[in-house]
Amino acid sequence: MESQSRSIHNKRWMAMIPALLFLSLIHGVHCFYLPGVAPEDFQKGDPLKVKVNKLTSIKTQLPYSYYSLPFCTPEKIVDSAENLGEVLRGDRIENSPYAFTMQEPQLCTVLCRIMIDAKTAKQFKEKVDDEYRVNMILDNLPLVVPIKRLDQASNTVYQLGYHIGLKGQYAGNKEEKYFIHNHLAFTVKYHRDLQTGSSRIVGFEVKPYSIKHEYEGKWSEKTRLTTCDPHMKRMVVNSNTPLEVEVNKEIIFSYDVEYQESDVKWASRWDSYLLMSDDQIHWFSIVNSLMIVLFLTGMVAMIMLRTLYRDISKYNELETQEEALEETGWKLVHGDVFRPPSNSDLLCVYVGTGVQFLGMVLVTMIFAVLGFLSPSNRGGLMTAMLLLWVSMGIFAGYASTNLYKMFKGAEWKKIAAKTAFMFPAIVFVIFFVLNALIWGQKSSGAVPFGTMFALVFLWFGISVPLVIVGGYVGFKKPAMEDPVKTNKIPRQIPEQAWYMNPIFSILIGGILPFGAVFIELFFILTSIWLNQFYYMFGFLFLVFIILLITCAEITIVLCYFQLCSEDYKWWWRSYLTSGSSALYLFLYAAFYFFTKLEITKLVSGLLYFGYMLIASYAFFVLTGTIGFYACFCFTRLIYSSLKID
């Protein structure tokens, strides 16, 4: 146990390398707890509040509230206050009839007895077919099922939630039957403070069983079970006599509670949940990405230090017009390279939106690496991203209108309005359609009207005004002067080689940025669609930095080759070159859908591809903006070095 704990800590430290580098620069840092996740001390005999959460399935991706099935209910069902991220995730946290008392074991406690009618039987069978799991929470810890693994270095892995039931066959009978897990053996692990005598909960586990309970006489509240009786030393330890889901039959729900003292401290209680079987693949991803970066850096260095230096030196030595006419390559297009592109308004809007995304992702990453968005803070990541998105609107407005002014535009209000509405409107329409599909399935994943109103308020009440303010400031600031003058008559672009075809070069440009992130992308998709935790934010931050560098360098290299071919229309191509990595992201998402997921329902498939379309669109805007600004700075740098009369 001690060696396993040490191994877990080592892995988490490796994932937190960027955070350690950052914190090493800060003096006088004091320990603190995040709001809502501070430890709670319990004395022996204190009541413990067990809460129930949504029912989840990796086959349908449609969550349902716990009480959508006829489980045992408390006297009054009370909803817990959920943050914006929890609601968008489909979490519906409610109280439960389970009554736990700290350090007081319970055996064969009967929860309730229900009779199954045809409708109830159909509901249970459908949920068992779709492999739905029940999720519970105790002291902010999710319920897990420990599973012994003989093929792993760690003997135990944990599955979030327990399956409602299972399908099986009786011996000698080929007909498939449905069985329900009606007896739960809970284990609450706690760490005791020797000084105060109080305890903190560090683990919440369950082993589900299916058992056909029996009793003598007629049923009443005081009826004692014969199949599970602590006085007769009869305990439920297996599912040898399972309970079949049958119409007009009864289901008796029961549970045990066992308390185990643990050496795991409260601060480390999430380690077992976040234990990875192998983190070497993350390091492989980092090394793979670094090789791409080194290759591109070498190419950029060769261009900047050798080719450009030689070309600029020779060009600046030219004295006669005849010699100037003999020049070739990128220098020939100096009079057209800063000519405003077609659809310049749209380019300004997309660049501004990309700046907004870049700011949101960067700040979110920093908060995540520092531990503010750990899995213990449910919904915190999504809430933070939404709030950061709207607050970054001021930078979006600034970037779009300032670029628009450089293009000699005058209607800055139009550009600011498009920046505020275009991307959010497209995403909102897709989201609204998907939400209607979820609502049609009566799933708890459907966003309620109140939450939808809150999202619209964040958009119109905060994001739009900030974009307008940023647009005003950006347009008032003087525009950057072009380093060379633009000719009045556009230069004719010579016929290009096949490999310089815009579509071909754009598609080639997206491969390397995608290659830098696709391994980490696999773990992100797994955490989202296979109901697992993702916490390797240290690795993700490094991969994100590598993505920034890769997008910038591949765009610079291809932009240089384009200019050398005397093609000066680089504005849109620089954006699309790195932005095309989003196409590969969507194609990989499709590959992941058909190879890793078991989704069979049409609605679930539409949800998957709808959400991945939104993610790919956002990735396009982000990477495209990075490539655009890299090429923008590159062209200004090289043409400002020329001595043009």
Query: Residue 482 contacts by C-beta under 8 Å, 6 or more apart in sequence?
Result: 338
3-state secondary structure 63-94: CECHHHCCCCCCCCCCECCCCHHHHHHCCCCE
Q: What is the pLDDT, as a whole number, of residue 283?
A: 74
Answer whether residue 451 is part of any domain. yes
Contact by Cβ (8 Å): 571, 339: no
Q: With residue 133 as reference, give the H or E element that holds it.
A: strand 133-138
What single DSSP character describes residue 480? P
Task: Give the other-Cβ count within 10 Å of 476's Cβ.
Answer: 11
Q: Is 557 a member of any domain? A: yes
SS3 state at 144: strand
In sequence order, the 6+-apart residues with CB closer than 8 A to the CB of 81 are none
The pLDDT assigned to 306 comes to 62
- The phi, psi pair for 617, rounded to 5°, reads -60, -45
Q: Is residue 103 part of a domain?
A: yes
Q: Is residue 498 part of a domain?
A: no
Which residue type, as a one-letter code, is found at position 218? K
Nearest to 261 by CA among 188, 157, 184: 188
The answer for residues whose C-beta is within 8 angstroms of residue 287's C-beta and 6 or more apart is none
End-to-end CA distance of the chain: 76
Q: Domain check: are 233 and 375 in the same one?
A: no
Tally the domains of the chain.
Answer: 2
Residues 228 and 288 in one domain: no
Check residue 526 and give its pLDDT. 85
pLDDT for 1: 40
Residue 140 lies in a domain: yes
Do 287 and 181 share a structural domain?
A: no
Residues 453 and 369 in one domain: yes
- Residue 519: strand, helix, or coil: helix
Amino acid in position 366: I
Could you give the CA distance from residue 451 to residue 436 in angstroms, rounded to a whole number?
Answer: 14
* 546: containing domain: 279-297+339-480+514-641
Q: Are 255 and 194 members of one domain?
A: yes
Tell me, yes or no, whether 237 and 360 share the same domain.
Answer: no
Q: H or E stretch including 190? A: strand 183-192
619 in a structural domain: yes
348 and 248 belong to one structural domain:
no
CA angle 282-288-293, nearest 5°? 125
Does residue 603 sit in helix, strand or coil?
Answer: helix
Contact 337, 484 (CB under 8 A): yes
Same domain, 354 and 470: yes
Query: Splitting the chain (645 residues) into consecutive groups of 10 residues, what average pLDDT does each group show?
Result: 42 41 37 54 90 91 90 88 78 89 88 88 91 92 83 70 87 82 92 86 91 82 78 74 86 91 86 65 75 78 67 59 52 79 91 94 89 76 90 94 88 92 93 91 86 89 93 88 78 78 89 85 85 77 88 89 84 92 94 90 92 95 94 87 63
Residue 546 forms part of a structural domain: yes
Tell me whether residue 262 is in a domain.
yes
Same domain, 289 and 173: no
Please give the pLDDT value at position 398: 94
Same-domain status, 263 and 291: no
Alpha-carbon gap, residue 428 to 380, rounded angstroms: 21
Domain match, 269 and 373 both: no
**281 burial level (CB within 10 Å; 0-12, 13-18, 19+):** middle
Whether residues 252 and 351 fall in one domain: no
Maximum Cα–Cα distance across the chain: 114
